[in-house]
Structure 1
Amino acid sequence: METSTFKRVLAWVLLAGFVLLLLNITIFHVLIVPSMALYLIIAVFYLFSGPRLARENKNYKDANVYQEIEADVEKNKYN
């Protein structure tokens, strides 16, 4: 399985799990204390990973722009 496909599948599985966690907290009330603890852990992780993810996304965009410019330079060099 390709890495991008694996990441996409993993993202969908995590999204489904998060939705089920929210449903459990709001409707089903099964193991509510561990569910709330897990929700708080996810929330704290999200708050602290926000700036890091934003930096990685910016670096990824900058790298793509650089690669496109480099490809144009190489193409024009032989013309």
Structure 2
Amino acid sequence: MTAFTIMNMSMQEEDHLPDLAVQAFRNAFKHASQSSTVVYAKNHQLLKQLPTGEISVIKDISTAYTSISAQHHVLKRKKKQAIV
């Protein structure tokens, strides 16, 4: 069973939430990489880091990235039809 608690925060505290999330992820990644082997992507390469700190390149994944051209579309709502 999951319980949700309502947190009352000020606007300033809410502004810090993304920074705290990034910091928490960095700490978790650092802890995971010190205790076991981790595989991650960096600079268009798939890397494997051992707990000893040794990093090896598994695969070049630069061809997996595609650039998407920005297209501006006007979105229109469909007209609702009355049901009689």
Category of TM-score, reference length = shorter chain: 0.3 to 0.5
Larger Rg: 2
Higher helix proportion (structure 1 or 2): 1
* TM-score (normalised: structure 2): 0.32
